[in-house]
Amino acid sequence: MAQAVVVSSKRFGVAILLVVAIPLVAVAMAPLVHGRNEPAAANRRFLLINALSAAHPDYLFTVDGAAPATDDAVSVLVEPRPPLPLTHGPEARRPVTLKLDEKGLPSPPELVDWRMTRALKMPDEDARRRLLPEDEALLKSEVPRRGVVALAVVWLAAPQTEESIQRFWPGGADVLFFSPRRRDRKPVSWGVSFCMDRGLPTCASDHPASPVSGFRAWVSSLTAEDQPALAASGLNLTELRGAAHSGLAYGFVASGDLDELRELAAEKSVSTLRVVDLRIPPEHDL
């Protein structure tokens, strides 16, 4: 039985109805299914999903409850990251089957680069500009500013703690970047999530964990035996532990209306800001 949980969002003045996937936890706690160690299969699934999420902040990865993990494949649902509190809806999610080799390592999923991907892997020459001309024009445009929810990638002039970021972005970041900007790879990251949805029963199921606390909970659960699976997503356990220990963020993903993002772009701590998506809430009357 799924549990409905209401989480309030001060920024958008709405209540968000989230469904905590209790059945997934039940699956993870089952002893044996068809002679197979079901907890081990569930743990492996969460390890791979969490590694993908940490390596690819431009996409959302969730457990495909309709396709249980097997000895040779793991099924996940993938969708481009939307602004919070909106989602793209079921039509944007696609099931992806990760084939496992004889060592239990997954084949990498095929992920299409989009505007957010390019903002995450920004070259130095682009990073020198706080705003691109199209972003500046958008933030000054006459669209219904309070009726549009935008998604932005924000890089900081210097790494900061989660608490210091909340001083100028009080609603909180959707995702924090725990490694510097590089043009050849996306930053190590972690987003706001329910611990149960990440296989981390370390916090109350009806309260999402902040990016730093969730990231630290995940990294603390990893062992040296997980390194091959992490490497399949381009991650390194030693680097993850160092990032979790420091808790410093080099940038973040922000959702907000255009007025809020315009003020954020002018914040002295911000080095660059790129608007990567726009959404109009379905209930909004233009």
- Can you give the pLDDT at residue 266? 96
**Would you tell me how many other CB atoms lie within 10 Å of the CB of residue 262?**
19
- Can you give the pLDDT at residue 73? 87
User: Are residues 76 and 66 in contact, defined by beta-carbon separation less than 8 angstroms?
Assistant: no
Task: Tell me whether residue 7 is in a domain.
Answer: no
Distance, CA of 189 to CA of 252 (rounded, Å): 9
Q: Distance between alpha carbon 258 and the CA centroid of its chain, in Å?
A: 21
Distance, CA of 23 to CA of 120 (rounded, Å): 34
Q: Which residues contact 269 (CB under 8 A, 6 or more apart)?
A: 156, 157, 158, 160, 164, 165, 168
Strands 14-20 and 3-9: what pairing?
A: antiparallel
**Would you tell me how many other CB atoms lie within 10 Å of the CB of residue 34?**
7
Distance, CA of 145 to CA of 150 (rounded, Å): 10
Task: Tell me whether residue 269 is in a domain.
Answer: yes
Task: Tell me whether residue 88 is in a domain.
Answer: no
Task: Tell me whether residue 105 is in a domain.
Answer: no
Largest Cα span, the chain: 62
Number of domains in the chain: 1
For helices 211-221 and 237-246, the axis angle rounded to 10 degrees is 140
Task: Tell me whether residue 95 is in a domain.
Answer: no
- Can you give the pLDDT at residue 141? 82
Distance, CA of 139 to CA of 128 (rounded, Å): 19
Task: Tell me whether residue 195 is in a domain.
Answer: yes
Residue with tokens 């690819």: 56
pLDDT in tens, 87-145: 555 556 788 888 999 888 998 899 999 999 999 999 888 889 999 999 999 998 876 65
Distance, CA of 95 to CA of 125 (rounded, Å): 37
Beta strands in the chain (DSSP E): 3-9, 14-20, 32-33, 36-37, 59-63, 73-80, 94-99, 149-160, 175-177, 189-191, 249-256, 270-279
Task: Tell me whether residue 228 is in a domain.
Answer: yes
Q: Which domain holds residue 179?
A: 112-279
- Can you give the pLDDT at residue 6? 35
Q: Which residues of the chain have pLDDT under 70?
A: 1-39, 69, 85-92, 143-146, 194-196, 201-206, 281-286
pLDDT in tens, 24-47: 333 333 333 333 445 677 788 899
- Can you give the pLDDT at residue 283? 57
Distance, CA of 73 to CA of 106 (rounded, Å): 8
- Can you give the pLDDT at residue 231? 96
Instruction: Transcribe 81-120 into DSSP letters.
Output: PPPTT----GGG-EEEEEEB-TTSPBPPP-----HHHHHH
Token pair in block for residue 5:
């949980």
Peptide bond into 23 cis (omega under 30): no
Task: Tell me whether residue 158 is in a domain.
Answer: yes
- Can you give the pLDDT at residue 264? 97
> Among candidates 225, 218, 214, which has minimal Cα distance to 241?
218
